Amino acid sequence: MAQQNKLTAACQHLEADLVLFHYGDLAGGERDSLAAHVARCAGCAGYLRELATLMPLIVKTDDPAPPFWMNYNRELRQKLDAAVDNKSWWQSLASILRPRYLPAFASAAVVVLALTFTFGIGLWSGKSQAPDDELAELLPVAENLDFFSAMDLLDDLELLEFIGNQGKGAA
């Protein structure tokens, strides 16, 4: 039983070339020299026989049964239907702003802006102008502006004198 699990040993420097030889991927001169070596070497010949028996087992595919594919198809459709039904709030909002609705929203925005500017001008212009009574009260103050400026200067002078007197008294 131990001999059944033991693989035939090939020449170590030729193992990669033996695999290529098995698949037919070696060029003419290399292939001929390796075929001559395999004819003389029992280890390399046994390695090639084992490759011929083991490689088809490695490549063997596992095709699932038709019921598997039926169940897979049904589950996939259920998941896709569930994903389509579960839209988030931003996807719902994005569906409203699709290109087919965009001209309607743009037209509504233009109408709202036109109405705002048309009816809003009368409201805004009345509030921005000062009444005539307030203007009449400000006119005498503007005429005597020089007088009030001089009064402010005198207040500043009195403050400077007060500060100066306090400095002399502390010294």
Q: What is the pLDDT of residue 6?
A: 62
Helices then strands, each counted (H, E), the chain: 9, 0
- What is the mean pLDDT of the segment spanning 42-49? 88
Helix axes 145-170, 132-143, angle to 10 degrees: 60
pTM over 0.85: no
Structure confidence at residue 130 (pLDDT): 52
| Residue 55 CB partners (closer than 8 Å, separation 6+) | 22
Residue written as tokens 């994903």? Answer: 83
